[in-house]
Amino acid sequence: MRQGAGISATAGGFNRSARSLRHLVAGQWRTGGGADLLDVNPAWPHETVAVGQLAEDCDLDSAVAAAQDAFPRWAATPHHVRGPILDRAADILDTRAEEWGTELSWEEGKTRVEGVGEVRRAAEILRYYASEASRPVGEVFASPRPGEQIQVIHRPVGVVAVVTPFNFPVAIPAWKIAPALSYGNTVVWKPASLVPLLAVRLAEALVEAGLPEGVLSLLIGNGTLGGQLVEHPGVDAVTFTGSTSVGRRLIATCGHLARPVQTEMGGKNAAVVLADADLELAVGEVLAGALRSAGQKCTATSRLVVQASVADEFLALLTKRAAALRVGDPLEEGTEMGPVVSLQARDEIQRSVDAARERLGVEILTGGRRYDDDRMTGAFLRPTVVELAGDDPLWREELFGPVLSVRRAPDVQEAFRLANDSEFGLSAAVFTDDLRAMAAAMEHVDVGVLHINSETAGADPHVPFGGARQSAYGPKEQGRAAREFFTRTKTVYVRPSGAPR
């Protein structure tokens, strides 16, 4: 385990000197004039990742005005011109993936392997939307009147406010910004202030790729700035990923303003392991879903339902492997789980586990205690598995950390009932080789994304992504589904003047 003090600034070939943060406003890089912003390494919080200043109200007004000014020109730019810009940005991300992926891990806390993979995933997303130029841009319908044609075409909505979370600081912005730009919109983007450096990197890639001035602005600020962006009179639509509480307020605000809104919010995702499942496979997938990125995914596995007849065997395998995970510096080779994003997040999650320990019907199978070595100074948490005898706050509340709550079910019907026993409905996983159980899961498990024999996390850019119930509001993201939010349809009746009437 690496100690937090006395680290060389270039240890392992990676320059650990603090970076400078910048805003992109109206095509110009600015330092900002607001309060100081200190971006720290969650593994070793004494270590500074980047420094800068928050954006000011005048920056927001300038960014929105620039987006409004650039919109007509960008919307009129042929798709075959817009697409190659996204392609070039993807090439830049791929070229810099090792460097920027390492910075991502340093700043956010996921392992270096995950960080590099996320940068490459962002490039994949950009390429998918770059290829929209080769796909249909509308539909033609038959008319009941002779000589007439009915066309439905898609037009961009205008200025899009993009508000993104900390947990995927490149991938989630990419799957919002890429379709927005590809379909001809302009963007004003406020990332999470916990991960500003990777936001700057994505904006740098797009600018270097040739994105015209004003088409994208990046403003690093706090939640207040996000609220001001959402309510700004120059914004035409809002896309948001974050907590359910913030998402609900945003939905209410946009409803009052009659402004289109797309939100991806919380999740309390269940994995269901049935009696016939391949237990070795299921253990690996459940652990990956629960503990990769330290459980900080909206699609993370945070609930587990195990059919009673295999529960003892399965939980013995699961807890043994969870306890053996190597938790430490995410930049070190061989680390399997890094810290959560901040000391505040660490303490909030730990308090929830400590409180559960005092309740009846709660048994902590592994983890649950603070580290007593050098990791105690960082935002590290032990991988924790908790078995519940019945309902409990750990079954209901999204902790957003490496905590997995377990309940047993006597049969398939009760297992699926427990999987649905949540206000959320983002993703779920079912482990079985029984075709009838698979069919029942597809019919009855109420989520937006269902995995059969794979972890709850994971989303491909060419298929719709989004949840049900309190996990989402508005059109889905990714794939062709993104077009439903980032464009408006126009129905056009075309009849030559000489056509019969």
The active-site residue out of 124, 132, 285, 298 is 298
Pair of tokens at residue 122: 């962002």
The active-site residue out of 103, 114, 264, 477 is 264
Closest CA to 272 of 399, 413, 401: 413
- Alpha carbon distance 30, 55 (integer Å): 9
Give all strands of the β-sheet with 19-20 in edge-to-edge order.
19-20, 48-53, 36-40
- Alpha carbon distance 234, 40 (integer Å): 34
Let me know: does 295 contact 402? Beta carbons within 8 Å.
yes
The pairing of beta strand 384-388 with beta strand 362-366: antiparallel
Closest CA to 166 of 342, 404, 31: 342
Closest CA to 346 of 304, 400, 290: 400
Closest CA to 398 of 336, 478, 461, 467: 467
- Examine the residue annotation and report whether 387 is marked as an active-site residue of this protein: no
Please list, in sequence order, all residues whose beta carbon lies within 8 angstroms of the beta carbon of residue 329, skipping any fewer than 6 positions away. 1, 2, 43, 44, 335, 338
Count of all residues that appear for the chain in the document: 501
Dihedral, CA atoms, 87, 91, 96, 100, nearest 10 degrees?
20
Closest CA to 54 of 225, 235, 238: 225
Buried b (16+ CB within 10 A) or exposed e, 212-244: eebbbbbbbbeeebbbbbbbbebbbbbbbbbeb
- Examine the residue annotation and report whether 280 is marked as an active-site residue of this protein: no
- Count, in order, helices (H) and strands (E) of the chain: 15, 23
One DSSP character per residue, 421-446 reads -SSEESEEEEE---HHHHHHHHHH--
Which residues carry out catalysis? 264, 298
